Amino acid sequence: MTSDGAETEQLDGRRRRWQEHNQVRRQVIIDAAVAVLEHQAPGEEFQVQAVADEAGMSRTVIYRHFEDRSDLDRAVQRAICDQLGVELLPALSYDGTPDQIIHRMVGSFVRWAEAHPTLYWFAERDLAGWGPSPLSRAVEQVAEGIEGIMAIVVAALGVELSDDDRAGLDPWVFGMIGAVFAAVRRWLERDRREPGIEACIAILSESIWLQINGMALARGLNLPDLPVADLLQTLGPAEDPSRMAGASEGGA
């Protein structure tokens, strides 16, 4: 290897180590901001100095890793939504009947929000010039999970939905789940958090199930009270909605 090649490799190595160092420092700052928020009430802005103290560094170091305060806020929002996603992931499995799965999804979200009200408030904030908050991705995760359940049930029943029903499924489910998120926000903001958390979960999950069941009945469908995993096993590979979706994404 020539001396020029060796020098280039050394420079690349130093650059890579510096980038890794910056990524670690950036994550330390984000984690510190989340920790500061956890000790504050919803609606209370966190101070950069408090984040610096929590992270054990100066304010000037923080702004070396973020363009401005909005950049820091957005990174914190993403971290909070990643945390929520980790909480929701186990609830998105097909273990249980459709109404049980919906209850589990709603329960996971409501319990997380009740335990972290300031994080939920902060994640919902719209930052000027940044578009929708990252929390919309969490809404999509739950909505996609419910759409997946509905697709399996419809396929197991051997029913063919109309083009309009297929096209309308996504915005309808997304709006339904968005309403649940808004209801939880309202519940958290009440002076007295009533009803109790279990009753709140039951009401919200029941409202989703009643809407789904009502839409099915209006189309002559009787939804089976069977575990979704069992329904999935009745479908062949060509009929499995999850496999079909994966194949479609792979070919795109």
89 is written with which tokens? 């992931």
Report the chain's mean pLDDT, rounded to a whole number: 84
Domains 1-66 and 79-251 share a fold: no
Write down the pLDDT at residue 249: 43
User: Has residue 246 got a pLDDT over 70?
Assistant: no
- Residue 234 is classified by DSSP as T
**Which CATH number, 1.10.3470, 1.10.10, 1.10.40, 1.10.150, labels domain 1-66?**
1.10.10
User: Has residue 3 got a pLDDT over 80?
Assistant: no
Write down the pLDDT at residue 245: 44
pTM for the model stands at 0.81
Q: Where are the chain's structural domains?
A: 1-66, 79-251
Mean pLDDT in residue range 209-228: 88
Mean pLDDT in residue range 85-114: 91
152/183 Cα distance (integer angstroms): 28
Residue 179 — pLDDT band, cuts 50, 70, 90? very high
Mean pLDDT in residue range 107-127: 92
Write down the pLDDT at residue 145: 83
Write down the pLDDT at residue 39: 95
Report the percentage of the chain scoring pLDDT > 90. Answer: 43
* Listed range (119-128, 162-171, 193-202) with the worst mean pLDDT: 119-128
Write down the pLDDT at residue 252: 36
Q: Compute CA 163 distance to the chain's CA centroid, rounded to the nearest angstrom.
A: 28
Report the percentage of the chain scoring pLDDT > 70. Answer: 82
User: Has residue 38 got a pLDDT over 70?
Assistant: yes
Q: Is residue 131 a contact partner of residue 201, using CB atoms and an 8 Å limit?
A: no
* Tens-digit pLDDT profile for residues 40-88: 999 998 999 999 999 999 999 898 889 888 889 999 999 999 999 888 8
- Residue 12 is classified by DSSP as H
- Residue 191 is classified by DSSP as S
Please state which CATH class domain 79-251 belongs to: mainly alpha
Return the number of other C-beta atoms located less than 10 Å from residue 168's C-beta.
13
Residue 244 — pLDDT band, cuts 50, 70, 90? very low
First vs last C-alpha separation in the chain: 42
